[in-house]
Amino acid sequence: MAESSRRRLLATYPAEYLVCRDLTHSWRPYAVENEDGGLWRQVVICASCGQLKDRLIRRRTGAVIRNWAIRYVKGYQIAGGLLDADERNEIRRLAISQVSS
């Protein structure tokens, strides 16, 4: 993806995700589901943006069987791969300017 189109994309990036992009998500317990094979599916939710992720835990031992899998909310992901340093700077600038006067 061309640099200029990524910049345009960031300019319209949903405001509710900017803080999570800048400071990372604020995960909180959300649900625990019983799974076959003596497993729990532990689900956590981001208190800021509502994103969910889950992992599989063996009930008897507490061992992690499958690590976190993120369930991306619509509009969170940015096409074109990882953000570069300038793009992360822009996310930070936009996130801070939301709350500064």
**Smallest separation (angstroms) from Zn ion to the CB of 50:** 7
Distance, CA of 56 to CA of 62 (rounded, Å): 9
**Residues 41-60 within binding reach of Zn ion (CB under 5 A):** 46, 48-49, 51
CB-count burial class (<10 Å; 0-12, 13-18, 19+) for 24: exposed
Cβ atoms of 87 and 18 closer than 8 Å: no
Choose which of 6, 25, 40, 53 interacts with Zn ion (CB under 5 A).
Answer: 25
Q: Which is nearer to Zn ion, 31 or 63 (CB)?
A: 31
Applying CB under 5 A, which part among 25-33, 36-44, 74-82, 85-93 lies near Zn ion?
25-33
